[in-house]
Structure 1
Amino acid sequence: MGSSQSPRPTHVVTCFLLKNAGQAEKVLIVQRSQRVGSYHELWAGISGFVEANVSPEEQAYTEIREEAGLQREQVRLLKRGEVVEYVDEELNRHWYVHPFLFDVLTPEQIKTDWEALAFRWIAPDEIRNYQTVPRLWDAYQSAIKG
């Protein structure tokens, strides 16, 4: 039985980090650990909840620092996509995903935290070959359109 309450609106950021932006570029995907709140072991971008009174853009930089170990100076914001929506009946959440595209200036310095089991640099088209969090490909498409 599903909940009779309407799904809770939840805003999150998803950051797509690129290396070699423009030529044979690769995008970073991370595999979510058992210790995060949802979508265990699925692949995602660098992501997190948008905190109260924080803009999605500020939150994006925070998540990159916490989950990839990169400071603001080590990345460059390329584009911000349109919000991608997804209703998850099981979790009773209405996700509003704010997608961002960043160029990573120091990709060799990425260090993931406890939220990730693994990370990989892949060709962007390969996102579709992975078991990802819902609508990750759509969020990527939105981010690259800007």
Structure 2
Amino acid sequence: MTIITTPPDPASGNGVSTEIPPERIVVAAVVEWRGKIALFRRSRLIGNDSGMWHCISGFVEPGVTPQEQVVAELFEEAGLQAEDISDLRQGPVLVLADGRGASWLVHTFTAVTNRRRLCLNWEHDSYRWTTAQKGKRFTNRVSWLEDVLGATGHLAPFFRDKRGTENCTAEGFRGKAAGNQHKSQQGTR
């Protein structure tokens, strides 16, 4: 098994690199239409995050680039074909910790579509168009959604302090050492 090693983050002050196995490398895409974003509710048929609101996401398959994977996920989960996407922008790569403290490498994207109606597969039972700011009203959203929305420029960049409180920063994301915190990364794997 190959382990991805991210460089140490000087902002965290700990100088420790993060090792991330390939099975924890994912893509996360925010679908945008006319200035609104789509939030997707995970189907009850899904084991992880069922009933929770999030963006399009998926594991990066071996031998596939993050760009290729996100295009496949957009088609599989929302029915978006290449001609439906007017712009596909890659955002920063994030390292996010899950509830158990395991690190995930998240390749972020924004997919601008010209289609209002999306075609969901079995992974979702609903979607809603909303502004990113109003997305905070969806109380049952995944904990990492704001991280992805901030990274893709849909929300003002913020960090969570040790109490889990969101704090906006003028200079963007700040690396943190533990918990449900994240570090922005400049490179890809």
Relative to the length of structure 1, the TM-score reads 0.82
Q: Aligned match of 1:117 in 117, 122, 125? A: 125
Aligned residue identity for 2:135? I
Q: What is the letter of the counterpart of residue 19 of structure 1?
A: W
Q: Please give the alpha-carbon distance, in whole angstroms, between the structure 2 residues aligned to 1:107 and 1:88.
A: 32
Q: Secondary structure at 2:87's aligned position in 1?
A: strand
What secondary structure does 1:82 align onto? strand
Contact 1:11–1:96 (CA<8 Å) still a contact in 2? yes
Greater Rg over alpha carbons, structure: 2
Q: Could you tell me which amino acid in structure 2 is paired with residue 143 of structure 1?
A: T
Give the equivalent residue in structure 2 for 1:132.
141
Structure 1 pair 143–116 and aligned structure 2 pair: CA distance change class (3 A): same
Compute the TM-score of the two structures, normalised by the length of structure 2. Answer: 0.64
Choose which of 47, 53, 56 in structure 2 pairs with 1:43. Answer: 53
Range with bigger deviation, 64-73 or 127-136: 127-136
Q: Which ranges of structure 2 fall in alignment gaps of 5 or more residues?
A: 1-18, 155-189
Report how many aligned residue pairs link the two structures: 134
* AA aligned opposite 2:80: L
* Structure 1, unaligned runs of 5 or more: 1-6
Provide the C-alpha distance between the structure 1 equivalents of 2:85 and 2:51, rounded to a whole number of angstroms. 26
Deviation string, structure 1 residues 85-131 (Cα, Å, up to 9, x no partner): 222244x74222211111111223x1111000211001111222222
2:119 paired with 1:105: no
| Runs of 4+ off more than 3 Å | none
Percentage of matched positions with identical amino acids: 31
Counterpart CA distance in 2 for 1:134 and 1:89 is 9
SS in 1 for 2:153: helix
Alignment of 1:1-146 (within 5 A): 9=21, 10-20=24-34, 25-90=35-100, 93-108=102-117, 110-130=118-138, 131-144=140-153
Q: Deviations over 1:28-72 (max 9, x none)?
A: 010111222411211111111111111111111100100111111
Q: Tell me the C-alpha RMSD between the 2 structures.
A: 2.1
Distance 1:120 1:106, change over 3 A: same
Amino acid at match of 1:136: L
Q: 1:63 to 1:78 in 2, by over 3 A?
A: closer
Distance 1:84 1:66 in 2: 23
Q: Which gives a bigger RCO, structure 1 or 2 (Cα 8 Å, sep 6+)?
A: 1
CA–CA distance in structure 2, aligned partners of residues 49 and 66 of structure 1: 13
Residue 78 of structure 1: how far off its partner (Å): 4.1
